[in-house]
Structure 1
Amino acid sequence: MKNRINLVAVLFLLFAFSCSEPETKEFGVTISQDVDQIKAGKVLFDQNCSTCHNFNENAIGPNLSGVTRQVDTDWIKRFIKNPSEFFEAKDERAERLLAVYKTQMPAFPNFSESDLNSILSYLHTFETLPLEILGDTTSNLIPEKIQDSGIKFELEFFAQLPASDTTPALAKMTKMEPIPGTNRLMINDQRIGIYELVDQKPQLYLNLLEQRPDMVSKPGWATGLGSFTFHPEFLENGLFYTAHTEPGGTKPSDFGYTDSLKVFMQWVLTEWKAESPSSKTFEGTSREILRIDNASQAHGMQELTFNPNSKKGDDDFGLLYIGYGDGGTVEKRFAYISDHGGSGIYSSILRIDPAGNNSANGKYGIPTINPFSGDQGKAGEVLAYGFRNPNRIFWDESGKLFATDIGQHSIEEINLIEPGKFYGWPIREGRFMINPFGSFRTLYPLPADDDKKGVTYPLIQLEHDEAVAVIGGYFIPDGKLKGNIVFGDIPTGRLFFADLDQNPNPEVKSMNVVFEGKETTMEEIVGGRVDLKFGIDAEKQVYIMSKNQGIIYKIVNTL
Structure 2
Amino acid sequence: MKKAEQPTLKQIQYASPGEPLLRSDPPLNFNKMIKNGTALIALLSLFCFSHCNPGGGKNAIATDSVSIAAGEISFTKNCSGCHNFKQDGIGPQLSGVTGTLSPDWLLHFIKNSQQMIASGDQQANQLFAKYKKSVMPPFEALQDAEVNQLIAYIHAQKATGSQANKKNNGISNPIPGPIVLSNLVVNLQPITQFPATSDKPPLARITKLGFQPVTGNLFVNDLQGRLYKMKNDKPIVYLDIAKLKTKFINKPGLAAGFGSFAFHPEFASNGLLYTTHTEAPGSGKADFGYADSIKVTMQWVLTEWKTTTPNADSFAGSSREMLRVNMVTGIHGVQEITFNPLAKKGNKDYGLLYIGVGDGGSAEAGFAFLEHSIEKIWGTIIRIDPKGKNSVNGQYGIPSANPFANSSNNKAVKEIYAWGFRNPHRITWTKSGTMLASNIGQANIESLYEVQPGHDYGWPIREGNFVSAELSDNLGNVYPLPANDSIYKITYPVAEFDHDEGKAISGGFEYWGNAIAALKGKFLFGDIPSGRLFYLDVADLKQGKMATIKEWKITINGKPETLKAVCGSDRIDLHFGRDMQGELYILTKADGKMYKMAGAELKP
Q: TM-score, normalised by structure 1?
A: 0.75
- TM alignment of 1:64-463, pairs within 5 A: 133-134=167-168, 137=170, 139-340=172-373, 342-375=374-407, 376=409, 377-434=411-468, 435-463=470-498
**Residues 35-62 of structure 1: per-residue CA shift (max 9 Å, x gap):** xxxxxxxxxxxxxxxxxxxx99xxxxxx
**Quick one: which of 493, 500, 511 aligns to 1:465?**
500
1:50 equivalent in structure 2:
none
Find the residue that maps to 2:530 and give its secondary structure. Answer: coil
Q: CA deviation at 1:518?
A: 2.7
Q: CA deviation at 1:473?
A: 1.4
**Residues 289-309 of structure 1: per-residue CA shift (max 9 Å, x gap):** 000001111101010000000
**Residues 163-198 of structure 1: per-residue CA shift (max 9 Å, x gap):** 111121111111111100112111111103211010
- TM alignment of 1:455-494, pairs within 5 A: 455-477=490-512, 478-494=516-532
1:518 equivalent in structure 2:
559
Q: Is this contact kept in 2: 1:413–1:458, CA < 8 A? A: yes
Equivalenced residue count is: 431
- TM alignment of 1:487-502, pairs within 5 A: 487-502=525-540
1: CA distance between counterparts of 2:244 and 2:168?
A: 52
Q: Is this contact kept in 2: 1:139–1:465, CA < 8 A? A: no
Letter in 2 for 1:525: V
**Quick one: which of 595, 599, 603 aligns to 1:553?**
595
Q: Is this contact kept in 1: 2:167–2:474, CA < 8 A? A: no
Q: CA deviation at 1:505?
A: 1.9
Letter in 2 for 1:363: Q
**Tell me, which stretches of 5 or more residues in structure 2 are unaligned?**
1-85, 88-164
2: CA distance between counterparts of 1:338 and 1:543?
A: 34
The worse-fitting range, judged by mean Cα deviation, of 424-433 and 477-486 is 477-486
Q: Is this contact kept in 1: 2:171–2:479, CA < 8 A? A: no
**Residues 509-530 of structure 1: per-residue CA shift (max 9 Å, x gap):** 0011112433222111211111
2: CA distance between counterparts of 1:557 and 1:189?
A: 27
The worse-fitting range, judged by mean Cα deviation, of 440-449 and 225-234 is 440-449
Q: CA deviation at 1:133?
A: 4.0
Find the residue that maps to 1:391 and give its secondary structure. Answer: strand
1: CA distance between counterparts of 2:484 and 2:216?
A: 52
1: CA distance between counterparts of 2:598 and 2:471?
A: 44
The worse-fitting range, judged by mean Cα deviation, of 485-494 and 437-446 is 437-446
Q: Is 2:595 aligned against 1:539?
A: no
Percentage of matched positions with identical amino acids: 44
Find the residue that maps to 1:424 and give its secondary structure. Answer: coil
4+ residue runs over 2 A deviation:
131-135
Q: Is this contact kept in 1: 2:211–2:218, CA < 8 A? A: yes
Q: Is this contact kept in 2: 1:333–1:437, CA < 8 A? A: no
Letter in 1 for 2:274: Y
Letter in 1 for 2:518: K
Q: Is 2:585 aligned against 1:505?
A: no
1: CA distance between counterparts of 2:277 and 2:580?
A: 25
The worse-fitting range, judged by mean Cα deviation, of 433-442 and 388-397 is 433-442
2:67 equivalent in structure 1:
none
Q: Is this contact kept in 2: 1:138–1:441, CA < 8 A? A: no
Q: Is this contact kept in 2: 1:370–1:381, CA < 8 A? A: yes
2: CA distance between counterparts of 1:139 and 1:188?
A: 38
Find the residue that maps to 2:185 and give its secondary structure. Answer: strand
**Tell me, which stretches of 5 or more residues in structure 1 are unaligned?**
1-54, 57-130
Q: CA deviation at 1:132?
A: 6.3
Q: Is this contact kept in 2: 1:484–1:499, CA < 8 A? A: yes
**Residues 225-248 of structure 1: per-residue CA shift (max 9 Å, x gap):** 000000000001000100000011
Find the residue that maps to 1:314 and give its secondary structure. Answer: coil
2: CA distance between counterparts of 1:515 and 1:171?
A: 20
1: CA distance between counterparts of 2:172 and 2:203?
A: 33
1:74 equivalent in structure 2:
none
Find the residue that maps to 2:207 and give its secondary structure. Answer: coil
Q: Is this contact kept in 2: 1:164–1:192, CA < 8 A? A: no
Q: CA deviation at 1:442?
A: 1.4
1: CA distance between counterparts of 2:214 and 2:471?
A: 45
2: CA distance between counterparts of 1:552 and 1:410?
A: 30
Q: Is this contact kept in 1: 2:496–2:546, CA < 8 A? A: no
1:32 equivalent in structure 2:
none
Find the residue that maps to 2:242 and give its secondary structure. Answer: helix
2:44 equivalent in structure 1:
none
Q: Is this contact kept in 2: 1:460–1:506, CA < 8 A? A: yes
Q: CA deviation at 1:443?
A: 1.1
2: CA distance between counterparts of 1:336 and 1:192?
A: 32
Find the residue that maps to 1:544 and give its secondary structure. Answer: strand
Find the residue that maps to 1:267 and give its secondary structure. Answer: strand
Q: CA deviation at 1:481?
A: 2.4
Q: 1:436 to 1:501 in 2, by over 3 A?
A: farther
Letter in 2 for 1:352: I
2: CA distance between counterparts of 1:338 and 1:484?
A: 33
**Residues 450-487 of structure 1: per-residue CA shift (max 9 Å, x gap):** 21011100001110011110011111234112121100
Find the residue that maps to 1:480 and give its secondary structure. Answer: helix
